Structure 1
Amino acid sequence: MNFSKAIAIASLTFGASFGAFAQPASPYQYGTHLDIAQVIAIDAPANASGHTSTATLTYRDSDGKVQKVSYLRPTTSANQN
């Protein structure tokens, strides 16, 4: 494989992955089946106010597609007595 072909393949792979990260997260609802093969990232605000904050889970499913789901999680201040 020559260098220009390797660069083309790498750029197409990166472009496809970047497009998947740009997709909006679907909101989680109780009972939703999640097909998680690999967790890629968990994004949650560090200094959220109130009792809950919205976190986003980015994962790869068993088909290899990158998915996102958003969910409510308790803030650390809500766990203080």
Structure 2
Amino acid sequence: MNIIKAITLATLTFGSSVGAFAQTASAYQYGMNLDIAQVIAVEASSHTTGNAEIATLTYRDSDGKVQKISYLRPATYANQN
């Protein structure tokens, strides 16, 4: 019986984690007050044709909720002399 409870708990925990990563990202607006307690991931496109690329920051706020925000960042090759 304890194994079944452990498997059920693990399944529910994994399912809620996947759901948090599946949410859509909010667009960053200049001056937004961000509550970032822990950065989980930063994702950016590897195929950029311009001087900027859209990146997505996944983070945990001080309440423990996982949030996503998208923003423009300079492409890495655009900063080279």
Q: How many residues end up aligned between the 2 structures?
A: 81
TM-score, normalised by the number of residues in structure 1: 0.94
Q: Give how far 1:78 is off.
A: 1.4
One-letter amino acid of the structure 1 residue matched with residue 53 of structure 2: S
Q: Which residue of 2 aligns with 1:11?
A: 11
What 5-or-longer segments of structure 1 have no aligned partner? none
One-letter amino acid of the structure 2 residue matched with residue 11 of structure 1: T
Moved over 4 A (4+): none
> Once the two structures are aligned, what percentage of the paired residues are identical?
69
TM-score, normalised by the number of residues in structure 2: 0.94
Matched, 1:32 2:11: no
Q: How does 1:2-81 map to 2 (within 5 A)?
A: 2-81=2-81
One-letter amino acid of the structure 2 residue matched with residue 56 of structure 1: T
Distance 2:7 2:44 in 1: 34
Calculate the aligned-residue CA RMSD, in Å: 1.2
